[in-house]
Every structure is written in structure tokens, then in C-alpha cells.
Chains A and B, each alone.
Chain A
């Protein structure tokens, strides 16, 4: 499948869907605090295991960084 992740095209060969959690692991996103959105909808942490990303979806994974 091909998706848009953080405004960039990403291709995952051999997969026609992935959960948001699997996507985070595949991308090696290791930050403790992330905000995840699929097609503009907020996906809370507890929903990441059961929310699927499909071909053509738009995904945003924002890394929260301390400092201010």
C-alpha cells in the first residue's frame, strides 16, 4: 500500500493494511509522546492497536518534544 505520512509518500510493499501501532513500529518512531491522526481524525493511544491504515490514507504522526 501507498500512504501519505507526514506529507510524504511512503510505500509498504507486502501490506494492504497496517494498524497505526504497527506503522509506528515500522517507522522506528520511538518518542514517548506522539499524536497520531488518520485522514484528519485524532487516534488516541489506546485506539492505535485497533485502527487500520489502508492504501491512500493520509497519516500524521507528530513527535512531542519538551522545551518552551
Chain B
């Protein structure tokens, strides 16, 4: 497929992004660059200085709502992408309502508890919907531990072992690897194998 054909194929597709932090912001930008038709992004947080070590925001956006800032950044890269942004803290019911018409959902939360919630919500209420999750990306190095596997309609990206902590923070390279891996899986689901 040429890039023109890829863009044409993706122009009618909708992807939901649950969380606009390190995974969500980088994954959304990668999909926007590739020519996805529409993104539905939800997050309740604001951009803080600590986010700039890995999230797709700029210093001047500190204090802004993440969903507003991310929409601005996406439009600045590719104005053709339609971005629906929701400034809400997602829960079980709103995940189901907001993402029901998406072709694929990307799990981009930071807390394990929230990851569990969205996986259970989608598996129970939207069982046919592909869900791409990011599990394990703290620290640096160890490229070969980052992997991908499919478990039914759940697509898992990450090392599945490194938990963030004070001494093992999330950093741009590994978070970016997993976020882009998620975007790559979304493309494979939407376009078929390359």
C-alpha cells in the first residue's frame, strides 16, 4: 500500500484513546501523522512540568487541560484529523458509552487499577472491540524485554514486568516505544498485515 492508499483506508476509521499521558499523547500523535480519520480522547488531568519528560506537550502548555493541549498539538501536525476531546475522568460506564463506536480502543492509563477497569469493561460490555493495552515500560534500556502478544481481543504491548516507582520512573524512550507499538498494532488491526 502506498502512503496515499494508507491514508485513504484510515480516513474513515475512529480510534478511542483512554488517557492522554505518556502512552495516550504519543500514540495519538503517531496515529494522527499516519492519517487516521478520527480520534476520541478522554482525560481529566492538566499538563504539569513533570509530564514533559515523556508526554507530547510543550512547556508553554503547563497548566492547560491535557485534552485541549493534545488536540492543539495534533491539529498543528495534521489538521485533517478530527479530534473529539473529553475532559472527564473515565469510569466503567463512560468507557462503554464514549468508545462504543470506535474501531479500536487504546488503553493509555497510568494506574494498574484503571487498566484493570478498562480491560474488564471492554471484555464484558464490548467483547468484539479490539483493545490495545500498554503494560510495563518503566526505566530505561532492556529493549528486548519489550514485546507484543494477543490474548483474544486484547492486544498487549510492553515488558509486562517493570512497574513504575520512585527509583524506576517512566521515561520518554521506553514509554515512547510502547506508545508507538500500540499505534503500530492499531494500524495492523485497521489495515491488516503489511
Asked whether A7 and B149 contact (CB < 8 A) given A64-B115, A66-B110, the answer is yes
7 chain-A/chain-B pairs, Cβ below 8 angstroms: A64-B112, A65-B135, A65-B163, A67-B162, A68-B24, A68-B137, A68-B170
Asked whether A62 and B119 contact (CB < 8 A) given A68-B19, A68-B22, A68-B23, the answer is yes
Q: How many positions in chain A have a CB within 8 Å of any CB in the partner chain?
A: 18
Listed in ascending order, the chain A residues whose CB lies under 8 Å from chain B are 7, 31-35, 37, 40, 42, 44, 60, 62-68
**Which single member of B24, B116, B120, B136 contacts A67 (CB below 8 Å)?**
B136
Number of residue pairs across A and B with beta carbons under 8 Å? 74
Q: Does B144 contact A (CB under 8 A)?
A: no
B24 lies within 8 A of A65 (CB): no
Residues in chain A near residue B151, CB distance under 8 A:
37, 60, 62
Closest Cβ of chain A to B24, distance in Å, is 7
**Which single member of A7, A37, A66 contacts B163 (CB below 8 Å)?**
A66
Per the bound structure, the CA–CA distance linking A1 and B20 in Å amounts to 44
Q: Does B49 contact A (CB under 8 A)?
A: no
CB-based closest 4 A-B pairs? A64-B112, A68-B110, A67-B164, A33-B112
Q: How many positions in chain B have a CB within 8 Å of any CB in the partner chain?
A: 35
Closest residue of chain B to A66, judged by CB?
Answer: B112
Residues in chain A near residue B111, CB distance under 8 A:
66
Per the bound structure, the CA–CA distance linking A16 and B116 in Å amounts to 30
Closest residue of chain A to B115, judged by CB?
Answer: A64
Q: Does B160 contact A (CB under 8 A)?
A: yes
Residues in chain B near residue A35, CB distance under 8 A:
116, 119-120, 123
Residues in chain B near residue A44, CB distance under 8 A:
120
Asked whether A68 and B109 contact (CB < 8 A) given A33-B115, A35-B119, A42-B124, the answer is yes
A67 lies within 8 A of B156 (CB): no
Closest Cβ of chain B to A50, distance in Å, is 18
Closest Cβ of chain B to A28, distance in Å, is 14
